Chains A and B, each alone.
Chain A
Amino acid sequence: MKHRFDVVVVGGGHAGTEAAHAAARVGARTALITLRADAIGVMSCNPAIGGLGKGHLVREIDAMDGVMGRVADRAGIQFRLLNRRKGPAVQGPRAQSDRKIYRTEMQRETLQQPNLTVVEGEAVDFLMKNDTVSGVVLADGSEVSAGAVVLTTGTFLRGVIHIGDQSRPGGRMGDAPSVKMAERIDDFGLGLGRLKTGTPPRLDGRTINWEVLEDQPGDEDPVMFSFLHKTPFVRQVACAITHTNAQTHDIIRENLDRSAMYGGHIEGVGPRYCPSIEDKIVRFAGKNSHQVFLEPEGLDDTTVYPNGISTSLPVEVQQDYVRSITGLERVDITQPGYAIEYDYVDPRALDARLAVKTVPGLFLAGQINGTTGYEEAAAQGLVAGLNAAHVALDRESVMFSRSDSYIGVMVDDLITRGVSEPYRMFTSRAEFRLSLRADNADQRLTPKGIDLGIVGDKRRQVFENKMNRLTAGRDRVTEVSFTPQQIQKVGVAVNKDGSRRSGYALLAFPDFGFRELEMLNPDLGDMDVEIKQQLEREALYANYIERQSRDVQALRKDENLAIPPMFSYASIDGLSNELRAKLEKIQPGNLGQAARIDGMTPAALTLLLAKIRQSQRKKQA
């Protein structure tokens, strides 16, 4: 059997679905190949989406009409805006998800998406046309050809699951690893590394003594991920919080040598921000209690995910330590915790489209690139899916910049610096954090999505309507101005310099909001709340963003200076051998990326620029 598509996406996880949807929205005929269609949208780790930095990514995906935000809203059973009391730039939406609804909704979106076909099967090999990937071969021998292939195999590359001293090959609990695909990747000669991650045991909620536990309710006015949604879709529930204690720690300490991690069975590097309970107890021996969040996995699911105690101890030890925790004295474990080790591809082998530089037609997205997290995976899926479609349809590359999105920050970090532990997004990674906010993701990216033709009519209308109201509101607020005397009357201290200040300039004062503005000019009260809030947020940072604009310009200028592929660094006199080796390994795509390489000097950059100029001139001549 032979099938022909524009884009083939291998893997139905968070990276795969987002990649397939993005390619299909571009208009490419897209196949999503997955082992089981009913596993599309499975959340294999904790049942939550979003958080700090991560919530920003979901908003950005949504701004380009991706699926993650919409599905997470429909499945959300507890919404919390993290950092609600801090500035809007560092607020991150987060939600607990009902696993089943998430999966069902994701599958529904996937079936409804025009141009997208789900193919059940195991991709075992690539079809090659000379050195270019032109499709995949399935385990049953059938061939699926395509103009570009996006590989999103997660932890399936040589995955090994560890529980205590037991280990066996596996991608996640219950699934087979893809050994053949891994061998194929070896043939491409890409750099591989090994990482690990872990999960906690899952608990039967009916055996938890909820009465004695502290509740953690959701927000009273829940904030959605999608710019299209205002309120939750299903009933909202609370999580609970409990703590480990001295007894828990004793049990774990006594059994440390039986942990896969500490028994020397694992060589992969784990994430420092998501340590196992064994790690926490060893590294922070002085701390005699750790928080455990009990997160329900669904409205009609009795399973509970105890966030904070991931482990690779033997099953019986897991039972002992879990039952030493308040509220969990009689708890039943429904599935033991485990650690998983897997291969990842050094992402420095990729360009800013997430295409493998040395293998035309092949894109990689998600955990295979050394990241962790659903949101990081989905955001990469978006980038790879868009660009795979553009390759297949012979269109220009779609690039994201550090100055326009967290997506751009992540891609640049990955391809320029590589990873040393599973990569997770933090707001502190974004140097333009004050302008890259969750609240303005639509303003930053929806126009780009509209230009690319991947934004649906509904979103387009909602966006344009909002922008019109925002522009009108901004004009009104900028046109009004007040004297220092007037301003002081509403309780805000300003210099008595006699000069009038516009409403917009006043909103930049941290202690001046719309409430004060309306006291000065009651006419402005008729604006809608959404616009008022948005004006407050952007005005608050206006002075800082103005200061950063020069850096942004300089960055964009460097980013626009593309370095041709396979650029010869050997012919530049005056580069140190060390720097030359780094440049040759990383093969930066533009001057901006080159500038961020460790050890880059001003002289080397200038030389590089001169050399690029020279090769441009040659081409023109």
Chain B
Amino acid sequence: MDTIFALATAQGKAGVAVVRISGPRAFAVAEEFCDLPPAREARVRSLNAPGSGFLDRALVLVFPEGESFTGEPVVEFHLHGSRAVIQAVLRALGQVAGARMAEPGEFTRRALENGRLDLTQVEALADLIDAETEAQRVQAVRVLEGRLSGVVDGWRADLIRAAALLEAVIDFADEEVPEDVSPEVEELLEGVGGSMRRELSGFESAERIRDGFEVAIVGAPNVGKSTLLNMLAGREAAITSDVAGTTRDVIEVRMDLDGLPVTLLDTAGLRDTDDLVEGLGIERARKRAVAADLRIVLLAPGQTHDLPLWDGDIRLRAKVDRDDGQRNGISGKTGFGVERLLEKLTETLSKRVANSGLIIRERQRAALEEAVVGLDRAGRLVEFGPDRYDLAAEELRNAIRRLESLIGRIDVETLLDEIFASFCLGK
């Protein structure tokens, strides 16, 4: 049985964050950070990460086997609720041998298996587990896919191709498939591995750790996006004029919404254009808008748009200077509706903070790190040629499984689809 850990309290800004470690090696893992207090007695301890020094002054609690939430030996670190601290502790835990981050629902399952929970309690927890699973999926898609626009899709396609090539050579050895696919597979694995490494270094650097949200204002030219931005930001950041297509690039304004750091993006008006420069601006605007955390879509009467929208995105009727008896009107010029928009933004983004991507990002980082190691191993084995495709395929399969929450499931049917599409097989 693995020893697992995770943040046990709701994520986001809170005074205290509890990290729970559970499993046969829980005590040994925790002892890498501090001396453990006697069972069931709270003590303040300095947590030091093995190798990297002081993390936090924390309250530490030890629950022996049979007397914990899961029924297993459990240690809890009650940390100061700062994202940086939580992240550092989770990362340090992930580097201790024999411990890994818990899957959604894993604590609950262990508790259940050890007879610590009954059906009603599980039913109450099920929503939470589902929310966590769903949040991961959504985050994986939005934080990464949106942000990296297509990079993740590329990884998926390349990994399917690489695995399918190896499996085709293995499973259709007596048919008309190439005998040696090493060059193409190596290239694919190096490409994906390199791209993942670049993402990982991005994870580390400060500017990529998003402590704020991006909110994009989108709509047709001259619908009043820049005016609204100026109103929201309280200064003339974007050039506004009556000539459609004034904003040719993406303008960013940082603001603070009720304590939440928010970056407002004023984007080029979306329309068909022959102007090359404006066209580039529009393309850029679309990409940024899709990648943003939230979109405010401004529509004049009769206008439509073709941007994909997600839950929480806001649609407003533009240039409604005063109350006209209908809902969702706004005007950057008179300020009508701005107050309500700010309330709505604050509400939506605060909710998101509660489910923010911290844990998810940490899990994805761990998955990416493991996958990169696996892809490297697979690549080295592939260099030896078909003799070691059995081992290379195993390493690759393992790496793909680690990435499942990120790139989606790739099973044997996915590979067979690729194989039958690529090769004419069949005696």
Chain A residues in the interface with B (C-beta under 8 A): 46, 51-53, 80, 82-83, 85-87, 89-90, 94, 271-275, 279-280, 283-284, 287, 290-291, 293, 307-308, 426-429, 431, 433-434, 510, 544, 547, 550, 573-574, 601-607, 609-611, 613-614
Contact = CB atoms under 8 A, between A and B. Distances in A.
Contact of A428 (B2, B133, B170): B170
Nearest to B424: A284
Contacts of B420: 272-273
Nearest to A615: B119
Interface residues of B, number: 47
Interface string B118-135: 110011011101100100
Contacts of A433: 390, 393-394
Contact of B112 (A291, A574, A601, A609): A609
B173 interface: yes
B232 to A, nearest CB: 39
Counting from the closest, the 5 A-B pairs by CB-CB distance are: A87-B390, A602-B105, A603-B129, A610-B122, A284-B424
Contact of B425 (A273, A544, A550, A613): A273
B167 interface: yes
A86 B390 contact: yes
B371 to A, nearest CB: 15
B104 A428 contact: no
Contacts of A290: 176, 424
Contacts, number: 142
Contacts of B173: 52, 82-83, 86
Contacts of A431: 397
A181 B217 CA distance: 67
25 contacts: A52-B172, A86-B170, A87-B391, A94-B174, A271-B426, A274-B426, A274-B427, A308-B426, A426-B416, A433-B390, A434-B391, A544-B394, A550-B2, A602-B104, A602-B105, A602-B129, A603-B104, A603-B126, A603-B129, A606-B108, A606-B129, A607-B119, A609-B113, A613-B112, A614-B119
B426 A273 contact: yes
A600 to B, nearest CB: 11
A606 B126 CA distance: 8
Interface in B178-207: none
Interface string B84-125: 000000000000000000011110110011000111001101
A302 to B, nearest CB: 21
A293 B427 contact: yes
A434 B384 contact: no
Given A510-B387, A610-B123, 4 more contacts: A434-B390, A434-B394, A602-B106, A610-B112
B114 to A, nearest CB: 11
A428 B171 contact: yes
B335 interface: no
B386 interface: yes
Contacts of A614: 118-119
B389 interface: yes
A280 B119 contact: no
B349 interface: no
Contacts of B425: 272-273, 275
Nearest to B134: A601
Contact of A272 (B389, B412, B416): B416
Nearest to A613: B112
A606 B415 contact: no
B170 A52 contact: yes
A550 B167 CA distance: 24
Nearest to B176: A291
B394 A85 contact: no
B322 interface: no
Given A272-B420, A601-B133, A427 B170 contact: yes
A156 B72 CA distance: 56
Interface in B381-402: 384, 386-391, 393-394, 397-398
A333 to B, nearest CB: 18
A332 B119 CA distance: 72
B387 A87 contact: yes
B126 A287 contact: no
